[in-house]
Structure 1
């Protein structure tokens, strides 16, 4: 590409130089020829004013001015005979034309000739003839053409230098884009194209960076899905196992099978939601928080009541508008309620409130609190009971951030509280 740009710049400069130089060279030759003719006419006029009335018997000898060796000056009588000076013995066509009153410069062979009539009225008593080599203007023009050629060479050289710089400036952003695209092709999703100052290339770089970020985010969510799904499956299978073991101990298989089927159905729905959330872009549809909390109450009231723990739902009036995915919200609440069931105690409270113009959903229980200095949102490959809150909270936080919101611990102890800030009006929730 650099060679093509350089070639185009040089060709454009050469064409411009040729288009200007050729007419200028022709005009220069004509100008020098006119100058030469004018000098000959001035010389002939100076001699003409010194020609006496009788060119054959002058009282004083006629003196011609000194001229260059290759310039000839001659005086002819009315019979076209050379009287004094240099020139042909018999007057040639310019002399004959001057005697007839038709004086005009002309070129005879290799010389420029000017003939000036001498006389008064209609009677021409003599003619002054001046001539010089015809190649004199050409020699002067050749020197000028040499100077023009030198300047043209400089212009082409400057154009070539500018072409090299321009080709580098134009090609470097495209080469950087090709390099970034090649890295993306090899699987390096961290590759980004840097701004170059060239608006068109920067637009392509921005589009490429956005596409790379989108692919990286989708791939990250796809990879996280396996971990998230395994956690949800493990939780559901544990629940089914407990139901079946309880049924075996109590001798009520039908109720246990019904509970197990309900758990498996819920797990299937959860896995579908997680897979869709892993593949889709965040939704920007209005979020019905009341319906979201009602659904959570229906799903978790029975399980919490089975262990003697009440579930309380409170919703303030005049809540801010919120946008997002109902599927993501359902998963976030399920994770927070499952965490409260597994690690908390007492009443579980879910409250929707206005937090300085942002919708906030709090989930808290009456447990002793969270360990100080521990990141409860960190992903751990081990079991949740082995020293942490497991992969569920990491899943909830990633879903909240993917929807433009925030999930954080607003109170550690006592009575731990998790707060979900929901994005609203096309803006991300404040941290």
Structure 2
């Protein structure tokens, strides 16, 4: 915007100055030319006044003196064809002046001023003063140069003033853009300072109102999710009591462990929902994936599924919280158990990422994915259809990505890349 306003000011100032200075420059040239002709006319008339009173010798001396003092070449044309002073051709204008008419005529190289005078002894005498083009334009170039410098100075001053005004406007707009970027990045505490022109202050106030409204809506949503999650504790408590009442201790312990796992997941949902921003987002992917694989291995054994497990023996820090990563792994393995027949083998492989972080690949030998089921909320097995979307959002929140393709066994291969945690 600063450049645009500067260009507009430069164009406007240039047009105004051209409209003002060009006529002024032409006027200066005309005034200079008229002044030179007037001075030459005065010089010629001073000689013409002495024609009737002086002899030819005295007239010659007078012409030389006046030409030297006036600065213009003088020529006196006598009726007999003789001339006094500087030699000059007898032009048509001279012949016209010899008829008794004083004229000013343009000739090659300048202007000749002709004054006709009647002498009692000599007859009609024509006095000629010649003004060269250099004399006609004397001082004009310097005046034009001054006007040009003045125009450039005024244009520069206009651009400087426009840039100062534009800086005031653009600074406020840039600050608004910075606040909007902070809000888009999740910093809901960002607020704009109303400053600058009234329109910009109005936009800043509207942006602050919008940010406050978004903050209120998100707070209400977090509390709603937390309340809904908390309501699950009642049926979980009933399920735990039912499990404890079972006569088979082993079965009661197994169901109790599942209830404990579900309760921890509900607690994690409540804690996550109450967080205003994702703080402390990092964990060891190797330990989290190993823990979730142990949980699902019991169900895999019950369904006669063979599992190909490949986990590293070292820590793999990723920019995802342990709860989010556990939910991601559960979503991917839950898809395998929900969308493939019992007995279908699957694999879990965790490897270091090329630029840090980790890459989790879950494969199976099932029927594969229908392309239409990759959209959020789409499912072919009666589920919510959010499993892959949970994995995708978790990966993208860490700077990674999700890729779905066919596995080597003809089933599906879901590869999730997690970015490394930020360095402090």
Scaled by the length of structure 1, the TM-score of the pair is 0.48
Scaled by the length of structure 2, the TM-score of the pair is 0.49
